[in-house]
Amino acid sequence: MAQRILAFESDPSFSELLEEGFAGRGVALDIVADGSAGLERAAEERPDLILLSIELPSMNGFLVCKKLKKNAELKDVPLIILSSDANAEEIFEQHRKLRTRAEDYLRKPIAFDELLERVRAYVAVPEPRADGPYPARAADATEEHRGVVDEEIEAFADDAFDALLIEEGESSDAPPAAEASAGEDASETMAGMPAPVEAEEIIALTSVPPDASAESLAPAAPPEDSGMGTADADAYRSELAAAQQRARNLEAQLEGARAATAVAEEARARAEQERDAATGAAGEATGWRERAEAFEAKIGELEAEVAKA
């Protein structure tokens, strides 16, 4: 299913950059130049990602961000803030401290390739198709086709990984001729797959029962009418890469939070030490003041006795 990206952008040149960059990538791009209109559009149809420029007419982008993040239906939509302000980095740093902060911040002008890399951390955006733009499909048909693609790719991954494990288990006992034959059979089997499957994807998606037979593990050819091609497999791998990147981003945020917590604990410990030191100094000062008052009283008594004498 095409990813839906909602862009709040009033700059015609940057809007054109977005339209040209996302063209042919299977992305449903919706650009609005007004904050209020964009909020209404997001409420009507929930986007998969939001690009929000701060410089908007009638409503500041930060206020739009606050409204989106306080909306129960839209608060989990990944949001990337963009600004052309000369002090954008300082402004971003302050906004990151808020509870209604965005997922990412970018300063304009920015090259589309760099923007696309940051977008792919949250949603899958495939490369442009060589045979033209992605065809528009009805929502129900798209979901049904996507389900078929996912099931077939997972089935191919299961079969391929199972076949590889069986080949490894038998390689130590099988004679060289049989081993070569098994390799040829495996090559022929893999040739029937619509697209190569990376080892990391296979390991993450599959597990092998110990009593599986070689006959039951032979990968089946894809249905002729499934409609799955290289582009669909590429889109699947792009989604997997985006999920992995998202996980890395969350891990980095977690490490940052832990570091901030450690700094805060250290600052609190120093504050407590300084408070204890100040309390001790105050007590010591009180003692010296009392002794000074006692000396002054003693001096007064001595002066009185001298006057009498």
pLDDT tens per residue, the chain (309 residues)?
A: 689 999 999 999 999 999 999 999 989 999 999 999 999 999 999 999 999 999 998 899 999 999 999 999 999 999 999 999 999 999 999 999 999 999 999 999 999 999 999 999 999 999 887 655 554 443 444 444 455 445 555 555 555 545 544 454 444 444 444 444 444 444 444 444 444 444 444 334 444 444 444 344 444 444 444 445 576 666 667 778 777 877 887 878 887 888 888 888 878 888 888 888 888 888 888 888 888 888 888 887 787 777 776
Q: Which residue's entry shows tokens 């250290």? A: 266
Q: How far is CA 4 from CA 1, 7, 41, 153, 271, in A?
A: 9, 10, 12, 24, 50
pTM above 0.85, yes or no: no
DSSP structure string for 18-69: HHHHHTTTTEEEEEESSHHHHHHHHHHS--SEEEEES--SSS-HHHHHHHHH
Helix, strand or coil for residue 99? coil
pLDDT (0 to 100) of residue 274: 83
Token pair belonging to 245: 């990147």
Q: Which of 137, 102, 99 is nearest to 121 (CA)?
A: 102
- Number of Cβ within 10 Å of residue 35's Cβ equals 22
Domain residue ranges in the chain: 3-119, 139-228
Q: Which CATH superfamily is domain 3-119 in?
A: Response regulator (3.40.50.2300)
pLDDT (0 to 100) of residue 23: 93
